[in-house]
Amino acid sequence: MQIKKAVFEISNSDVSKCPKERIPEYAFIGRSNVGKSSLINMLTNNRKLAKTSGTPGKTQLINHFKINDNWFLVDLPGYGYARVSKKIKRTFQSFIKNYFLQREQLICSFVLIDSRHEPQRIDVDFMQFLGENQIPFCIIFTKSDKLTPTVLKRNIAAYKEKLLTDSWDIFPEYFVTSSTSKDGKESVLDFIHKVNEDLKNN
Ligand code: GTP
Ligand code: MG
């Protein structure tokens, strides 16, 4: 699938103020600095669509982008960002959680994991939260350009083992991406396209 049109729609911190349109929606979530906004820009071929930064905490709101006039990509703030005040951190967490719990248009979420790191508690906990609430998700291992294929493979295997021994019966569908080399672009877009087609046909 090609993204021909990507338009910013609205930003807010309140799920009740998100767009009312009943079109499929896909959200990107993960720790601050993992590369959520960069990935959205890579997928849409637009370096300026979502705001990115080397400093964590750049995205602070729920941002809707309408794609090809018929579905949404959603950029979210990172969870677990330690350098903001405790109060702001709590606010992030409650509106992010509310978004996931209440957004009926949300078809699938992508939990982004920095492929360089070993499994982190906060990510595993967030996937647990999604699972407990029957919110479908895939994993995206980001920044694959930063490590060799061997280390990448080893890190993904470690992740699988962690989730499978923790509490999951199956490892979720996953993708490996790099916003600099554009690795994984086709796979993610084809997945979304397929889900959109399935929705249309059912
Ligand atoms: P918050 O909005 O703060 O939660 O962060 P984010 O998850 O949206 O991360 P963002 O896209 O702003 O990227 C954070 C930093 O990582 C930036 O300096 C990006 O240039 C860099 N980055 C993101 N993706 C990649 C990637 O695939 N490869 C490399 N090498 N750097 C990346
Ligand atoms: Mg961001």
Please name the residue whose Cα sits nearest to atom 13 of ligand 1. 35
Residue written as tokens 């930003």? 11
**What's the gap in Å between 178 CA and the centre of ligand 1?**
10
What pLDDT is stored for residue 88 in this prediction? 60
What pLDDT is stored for residue 1 in this prediction? 86
Ligand 1 closest atom vs CA 178 = 27
User: pTM to 2 decimals?
Assistant: 0.95
Asked if the structure places residue 1 within a domain, the reply is: no
- In the chain, the number of structural domains is 1
Q: Tell me the per-residue pLDDT of 113-130, one tens digit each, with 9 for 90 and over.
A: 999 999 998 899 999 999
Asked if the structure places residue 157 within a domain, the reply is: yes
Please name the residue whose Cα sits nearest to atom 2 of ligand 1. 59
Asked if the structure places residue 59 within a domain, the reply is: yes
Residue 181 has which token pair? 């080399």
Among 89, 88, 85, 144, residue whose Cα is nearest residue 117: 144
What pLDDT is stored for residue 5 in this prediction? 97
Question: How far is residue 59 from each of residues 133, 137, 161, measured CA to CA in Å?
Answer: 25, 21, 31
Euclidean distance between CA atoms 85 and 91, whole angstroms? 10
What pLDDT is stored for residue 34 in this prediction? 97
What domain range includes position 148? 6-201
Ligand 1 pocket member 53 (CB < 6 A): yes
| H or E element, residue 104 | none
**CATH code at 178?**
3.40.50.300
User: What is the average per-residue pLDDT within 102-108?
Assistant: 97
Are 177 and 41 in contact, with CB atoms under 8 Å apart? Answer: no
**What's the gap in Å between 200 CA and the centre of ligand 1?**
33
